[in-house]
Amino acid sequence: MQNLDQVRAAHALKEALKTDKAAVSKLPAMLLSNGLLGMLAFAAEAEKPKREKMKAAVTSLTLHLAQPAAGFPELAGTATPESLANRLATGSALTLQRATTEALAYFSYLKRYAPKKDKVAH
């Protein structure tokens, strides 16, 4: 059996190449300033190609929270940031609070494993 740090690290290692360090670095501050629901709404906003890597990071968070080992049975089956936001908005305040804490912990791993933004390609 793995502890939660191992679960976070293993998932972040699998997902890290879908995003970059610059995109993930912005998310914890945004989460603390605007809350988890506000951060999800911003990062996953439709038709914002400049936020593609940020959306990939919150999609990774969604998939992490949906896995049984993360300890959120009420979030099982969520696959998109939009579905996560919907479940959190209509669920209990305690679930939102726990998910916020877990998101901060998960982003710390994802940021460490994500590659640096390619400065040549735009």
Residue 50's pLDDT is what? 87
Residue 122's pLDDT is what? 41
pTM (whole model) above 0.95: no
Q: Which two tokens stand for residue 64?
A: 């992490």
Is the confidence at residue 120, as pLDDT, over 60?
A: no
Mean pLDDT throughout 63-91? 97
15: helix, strand or coil: helix
Query: In this structure, are residues 2 and 8 in contact, taking their beta carbons and an 8 Å threshold?
Result: no
Percentages helix, strand, coil for the chain, rounded to the nearest 5? Answer: 75, 0, 25
Q: Tokens 């740090």 sit at which residue?
A: 5
Residue 43's pLDDT is what? 94
Residue 59's pLDDT is what? 97
Of 101, 110, 117, 6, residue with least CA distance to 59: 110
Mean pLDDT of all residues in the chain?
94
Distance CA 61, CA 112 (A): 14
Distance CA 78, CA 65 (A): 8
Residues 11-47: pLDDT tens digits? 999 999 999 999 999 999 999 999 999 999 999 988 8
Q: Which domains does the chain have, with CATH numbers?
A: 4-113 (1.10.520.30)
Residue 104's pLDDT is what? 98
